[in-house]
Amino acid sequence: MIRALRILASLALVFAVFLPMTASADDQDTIDYRQDIMKSMGEQAAAIGQILQQKAPPDNFAVHMQILAISAAMAKKAFQPKILGGEAKADVWEKWPDFAKRLDELTAATADLAKTAAAGGVAATAPKIQAALTCKSCHDLYQEQKKQ
């Protein structure tokens, strides 16, 4: 009887503690998908940064801004399934209203930047970028660095 209880307790422990931490195949798809979107945002932000530092030609500037805005608008949907893993901290879902609000603000800010870039190029957009691209403040709260 004690032995049976021990086995049951072990099984309960496995299901309660370990399983939620291990992503299933479907969960991995969810993680991969949101990482594809965040990767796009990171790459586009880096390209924009290079242009601002005059390390890359400005020709594509407005297009990079547009891609960043489109990617930002997709991000919230990708984080809606509550699947822990990748670089996302559990706080993403525990503090969902704040996280969602930040993504909505980023979406609005990047859409505005894209509009400015299309009309006025680098010169008109550069002064607005630092205030609009709040990547770090959000990553400090919600991103686990290099935990894949």
Which residues form the interface with another protein (CB under 8 A)? Answer: 26, 29-30, 32-33, 35-37, 39-40, 43-44, 46-47, 50, 55-57, 59-60, 63-64, 66-67, 70-71, 73-74, 77-78
In the complex, what is the shortest distance from the CB of residue 145 to another protein, in angstroms, rounded to a whole number?
A: 18
Beta carbon nearer to another protein, 29 or 94: 29
In the complex, what is the shortest distance from the CB of residue 116 to another protein, in angstroms, rounded to a whole number?
A: 17
Rg over CA atoms, the chain: 20
- How many Cα atoms within 13 Å fall on the side-chain side of residue 7? 3
Q: Which amino acid is at 11?
A: L
In the complex, what is the shortest distance from the CB of residue 33 to another protein, in angstroms, rounded to a whole number?
A: 5
Contact 89, 144 (CB under 8 A): yes
Beta carbon nearer to another protein, 28 or 95: 28
State both tokens at 34: 């949101």
C-alpha 46, offset from chain centre: 15
